[in-house]
Amino acid sequence: MTSEPAESIRTAGLRVTAQRLAVLGALDGMPHADTEALHRAVRRTLPGITLQSVYVVLGALTEAGLIRRIEPAGSPALYERRIGDNHHHAICSRCGAVQDVDCVVGHAPCLHPSDAAGFAVQTAEVTFWGLCPACQNA
Amino acid sequence: MTSEPAESIRTAGLRVTAQRLAVLGALDGMPHADTEALHRAVRRTLPGITLQSVYVVLGALTEAGLIRRIEPAGSPALYERRIGDNHHHAICSRCGAVQDVDCVVGHAPCLHPSDAAGFAVQTAEVTFWGLCPACQNA
DNA sequence: CCGTTATTACGAATAATTCACAATAAGCCC
DNA sequence: GGGCTTATTGTGAATTATTCGTAATAACGG
Ligand SMILES: [Mn+2]
Ligand SMILES: [Mn+2]
Ligand SMILES: [Zn+2]
Ligand SMILES: [Zn+2]
């Protein structure tokens, strides 16, 4: 079996670089991380990498569909490797903690817009806002 | 019947100012407008108003619950006067056009995550991404 | 009409992200 | 493996959206 991440990068028509491998690697341990956090993490193995390069790498990987970007209100963009399943997120309105939530498409009255006014809807993005377990004690 | 917007501002515990009335007034004609668009609009009746003041006004009105702020991915914050009904939005991924989508349930949270991992969910924010009628012809 | 205090204006600062362009290195051909 | 082409990265600056500190102004209660 070949190196999985390298393979997926190449298959996406992109060149395999140390920076891209490092970002993918870092993302494994920290789902829903922002660019700066990823930069700090990647720096441990790739000390010279620039923040701007992390931005570029994340942009390329996102566009290639290898990672997913979410942009919660009031937060910088977050990235994750879990893709292809259109899952949703619960976000703590107090501390910003992010939890994956499995797609609720089955029993979801609000996910079928009765009147989308002619929109050709491709995806339904759901964000649950509330308090995480830790923040409920306060 | 008294002046409706002034009344609601006062009831919220805020002072009634020309700037706040002007922003609310502008918002009537342009739902889902961003701060700069509102600034341009308000300037027509209040030439001296600063962009920063529009930011402050929008912040105060939002915090008071008199208007609602949405922050779609890739867009500056948008504001609207339609509040209290927990409605959703269809957004064109190409041109950014925003359409209101009625909530089938009507009250928050209209959806329940299958597994929220202990989150106390207060609202479910749903955004439908797709192509608006105009952009489908392209 | 006065005084208190919230609100606005002014100027600058910050946070997140993008851009232009030169330096580097991946992948391909030989 | 060595060179060539071109994608990618690094460098430095610019941009966009928003916030902050503080002085000037104006709303509202008395
Ligand atoms: Mn996720
Ligand atoms: Mn709306
Ligand atoms: Zn929390
Ligand atoms: Zn459109």
Q: Give the pLDDT score at B108.
A: 74
| Span between the terminal Cα atoms of chain B, in Å | 49
Neighbours of ion ligand 2 (CB under 5 A): B 80, 100
Domain ranges of chain A: 3-78, 85-137
Tell me if domain B3-78 and domain B85-137 are identical in fold. no
Place of tokens 């609310």: B24
Q: How many angstroms separate the Cα of B133 from the Cα of each of A39, A45, B65, B93?
A: 40, 48, 32, 12
Assigned architecture for domain A3-78: Orthogonal Bundle (1.10)
C-alpha A86/C-alpha A61 separation (Å) is 17
Q: Give the pLDDT score at A2.
A: 47
List chain B residues with CB under 8 Å of A74.
Answer: 71
Asked whether the predicted pLDDT for residue A35 surpasses 90, the reply is yes
At residue A68, what are phi and psi to the nearest 5 degrees? -125, 140
Nucleotide nearest to B22 (CA to C1'): C8
Using the CB atom, is residue B29 less than 7 Å from strand C?
Answer: no
C-alpha B114/C-alpha A90 separation (Å) is 11
Own/partner pairs for A19-25, CB < 8 Å, 24+ apart? A19/A46, A19/A49, A19/A53, A19/A54, A19/A57, A20/A57, A20/A60, A20/A61, A22/A46, A22/A49, A23/A54, A23/A57, A23/A58, A23/A61, A24/A61, A24/A66, A24/A67, A24/A81
Using the CB atom, is residue B63 less than 7 Å from strand D?
Answer: no
* B116 → closest Cβ in A101, A109, A123: A101
Which amino acid does the sequence have at B44? R
Give the A-side interface with B, CB within 8 Å: 69-71, 73-74, 77, 88, 90, 92-93, 99, 101-102, 104, 108-133, 136
Q: Give the pLDDT score at B105.
A: 77
Q: What share of chain A is helix, strand, coil (3-state, %, to 5)?
A: 35, 20, 45
Per-residue CB contacts under 7 A with strand C, chain A residues 44-83: 51-52, 55, 59, 71, 76-77
Q: Give the pLDDT score at B136.
A: 92
Residues of chain B under the 50 pLDDT cut: 2
At residue B45, what are phi and psi to the nearest 5 degrees? -105, -15
Q: What is the pLDDT of residues B56-67, one digit of tens each?
A: 999 999 999 999
Q: What is the pLDDT of residues A49-71, one digit of tens each?
A: 999 999 999 999 999 999 999 99
Place of tokens 């989508």: B101
CATH fold of the domain at B85-137: Dna Ligase; domain 1 (3.30.1490)
Q: How far is A105 from chain B (nearest CA, A)?
A: 10
Asked whether the predicted pLDDT for residue A25 surpasses 80, the reply is yes
pTM of the model as a whole: 0.93
Q: How many angstroms separate the Cα of A80 from the Cα of each of A30, A39, A83, A98, B105?
A: 8, 14, 8, 11, 31
